[in-house]
C-alpha cells in the first residue's frame, strides 16, 4: 500500500465525464456500486495517509453526498434507490471515521493488516498509573475549581501528547514495520483513558 495510492480517474460509462469519485458521476448522477478494493480514502479521492486536509475532506463529502442523496433518486428504479441509500450510509460512515484523528489512525492500522487495537488491548503500565492517579485526584478534590483546572490541564497535556504520537506513528505505517503497528495500537488504546477522564470532568 502506498500512501499516495489514488486510483486513476475513469470516465462515466454513460456520459463519459471524468469521475471525481468512484461511486457517482457528478455530471449525470449515475451511481456505481462499491467494490472490494475501495477504502474510505478512495471514496473521496484523497491520499491514503494520516495527515489529511480536513477542509478538503468536508468539501468533498458535501459535494459527493449531494450527488448520491436518496432525494435525488425518488423517480429512479428500486435498484438505484437502494444503491443511493447504501452509498449515502457508506459516505457518512467514511466521514465519521476519517474526520476523527484517533479513528482515522485506527482505520489506517486496520488497512495495514495485522491485529487491531481493540484485539490487542495492551496499554503501557505508565499510562494506567497516570490515569489512576488523575482519577484519584479527581475523586478527592471534586469541588475545588483550582484543583479541577490543574487536573484538566494534566489530562489535556497527556492526551495531546498521545494524539501527536498517534499522528507520527500512523504516518510511519507505510514502513511496514511491526514495531510501528504495535506502538500505534498501544497509543490508540491509551488515549481512551484520557478521553474518559475528560468526559468525567465537571463542565466549566
Q: What distance in Å separates the CA atoms of residue 133 and residue 125, rounded to the nearest whole number?
A: 12
Of 87 and 123, which has the nearer Cβ to other proteins?
Answer: 123
Count CB atoms within 10 A of the CB of residue 115.
15
**131 makes contact with other proteins (CB under 8 A):** yes
- Number of residues this chain uses to bind other proteins (CB under 8 A): 19
Count CB atoms within 10 A of the CB of residue 56.
12
Count CB atoms within 10 A of the CB of residue 41.
22
- All three cell numbers of 55, joined, read 477542509
Instruction: Report the residue from 58, 69, 86, 192 that binds other proteins according to the rule CB under 8 A.
Output: 192
Q: Measured from the CB of residue 96, what is the shortest distance to other proteins in angstroms?
A: 19
**135 makes contact with other proteins (CB under 8 A):** yes
Question: Rounded to the nearest 5 degrees, what angle is found at the Cα of 96, between the Cα atoms of 174 and 59?
Answer: 90
Q: Measured from the CB of residue 90, what is the shortest distance to other proteins in angstroms?
A: 25
Of 107 and 193, which has the nearer Cβ to other proteins?
Answer: 193
**181 makes contact with other proteins (CB under 8 A):** no
C-beta separation of 202 from 142 below 8 A:
yes
Instruction: Report the residue from 129, 149, 164, 179 that binds other proteins according to the rule CB under 8 A.
Output: 129
Of 122 and 150, which has the nearer Cβ to other proteins?
Answer: 122
Instruction: Report the residue from 4, 35, 77, 125 that binds other proteins according to the rule CB under 8 A.
Output: 125
Classify 108 in phi/psi space as left (phi over 0), alpha (psi -120 to 50) or beta.
Answer: alpha
Instruction: Report the residue from 1, 7, 13, 118 that binds other proteins according to the rule CB under 8 A.
Output: 118
Element containing residue 161 per DSSP (H, E): helix 145-171
Q: What distance in Å separates the CA atoms of residue 62 and residue 33, rounded to the nearest whole number?
A: 19
Enumerate binding residues for other proteins (CB under 8 A): 117-118, 121-123, 125, 127-129, 131-132, 135-136, 189-190, 192-193, 195-196
Amino acid at each position: 500500500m502506498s500512501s499516495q495510492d489514488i486510483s486513476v480517474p475513469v470516465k462515466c460509462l454513460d456520459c463519459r465525464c471524468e469521475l471525481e469519485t468512484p461511486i457517482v458521476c457528478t455530471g449525470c448522477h449515475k451511481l456505481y456500486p462499491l467494490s472490494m478494493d475501495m477504502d474510505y480514502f478512495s471514496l473521496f479521492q484523497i491520499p491514503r495517509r494520516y495527515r489529511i486536509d480536513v477542509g478538503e475532506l468536508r468539501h468533498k463529502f458535501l459535494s459527493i453526498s449531494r450527488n448520491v442523496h436518496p432525494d435525488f433518486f425518488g423517480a429512479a428504479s428500486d435498484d438505484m434507490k437502494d444503491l443511493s441509500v447504501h452509498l449515502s450510509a457508506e459516505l457518512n460512515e467514511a466521514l465519521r471515521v476519517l474526520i476523527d484523528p484517533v479513528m482515522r489512525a485506527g482505520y489506517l492500522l486496520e488497512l495495514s493488516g495485522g491485529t487491531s487495537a481493540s484485539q490487542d488491548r495492551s496499554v503501557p503500565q505508565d499510562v494506567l498509573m497516570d490515569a489512576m492517579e488523575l482519577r484519584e485526584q479527581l475523586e478527592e478534590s471534586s469541588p475545588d475549581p483550582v484543583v479541577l483546572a490543574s487536573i484538566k490541564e494534566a489530562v489535556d497535556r497527556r492526551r495531546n501528547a498521545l494524539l501527536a504520537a498517534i499522528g507520527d506513528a500512523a504516518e510511519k505505517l507505510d514502513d511496514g514495520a511491526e514495531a510501528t503497528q504495535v506502538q500505534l495500537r498501544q497509543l490508540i488504546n491509551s488515549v481512551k483513558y484520557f478521553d474518559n477522564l475528560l468526559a468525567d470532568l465537571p463542565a466549566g
